[in-house]
Amino acid sequence: MARNTDTQAFLIYCAPDLAKEKVQWLAWLCDQKRMSAKTLDAYERDVRQFLQHLTGHVGAPPKISDVSNLKPLDMRGFMARRREGGAEARTLGRGLAGIRSFIRFLEKKGLANSAGLAATRSPKQPKTLPKALQASQAVRLTEAREHLSETPWIAARDAAVMTLLYGCGLRIGEALSLTPNMMKSAKTGSIRVTGKGGVTRLVPVLPQVVDAIESYQKLCPYVMEGDDILFRGAKGGPLQPAIVQKTMRVLRGALGLPDSATPHALRHSFATHLLAGGGDLRTIQELLGHASLSTTQIYTSVDTSRLMDIYEKAHPRA
């Protein structure tokens, strides 16, 4: 947060009074809303770009009074400029969300009115479906040890990570933050995982996942205490997501899988295959750790599109 809360850095594009409020807003997002570092960085960048845009209009770094009563026209001008610079609808939508958050923060303190922003429509977002793997492809990924590292413990580690991502539907960050203590309950059939926003959920664990992790632990040359990181890099430090992504690229090439086969695609596959097998949408929401059911509902579109594809290929009159 150091670079985000440096008031002096803000002074080049906003006045001291607004810079002070921006620092407090970012601290509130971090401490109270518990936003991730990546989201904080994105929100800070979006608001900074908007304030830089306003600087050109007011002729000086904007003060609180310059943002106290923004109009839809102010936002449309900013978004038009971002579009000219190549920003897409998703980026513009996130930017508008960050600016709204900042102005509403000011509004709670009696420093601004957010009505103008509330009247500004968010750009229409393109519908993109998660690209899940076929069940056979996902299973092949978890069993393709012959294509992994020649170092036995690293091969076992990579196989365990892939099995965990598909078997439990974890985000890659959730998987790599597991500890031996957290895995103790796996033999009873479930583990507790801390996801986005610090929310903890109970996730069932298949025996195949337990076996893969135990195989890795037996071969790993590094001592693991209870609260140490479970998955280690080659030199003993925490395993980085980039290494898992690199391993996936190797497996993708060896198995002839599409570019959409990524570590996160295994999470999509987990949800899609559960739904196809008759899983309840609300239960899948809880397993994935989604805050809103609407986020999980996208998998109904994935499953429907796959069914239609099968129908078109198989039905004589299709």
Residues classed as catalytic: 171, 196, 264, 267, 290, 299
Amino acid in the structure at residue 86: G
Of 166, 140, 128, nearest to 302 by C-alpha is: 128
200-204 and 190-194 beta bridge pairing: antiparallel
How far apart CA 76 and CA 70 sit, in angstroms, is: 11
DSSP-derived secondary structure for 18-57: HHHHHHHHHHHHHHTS---HHHHHHHHHHHHHHHHHHHHH
Q: How far apart are CA 242 and CA 250, in angstroms?
A: 13
Indicate the Cα dihedral angle 123, 55, 113, 48, nearest 10°.
60
> Residue written as tokens 């040890």?
145
| CA–CA distance, 143 with 65 (Å, rounded to integer) | 61
* Count helices and strands in the chain by DSSP H and E runs: 17, 2
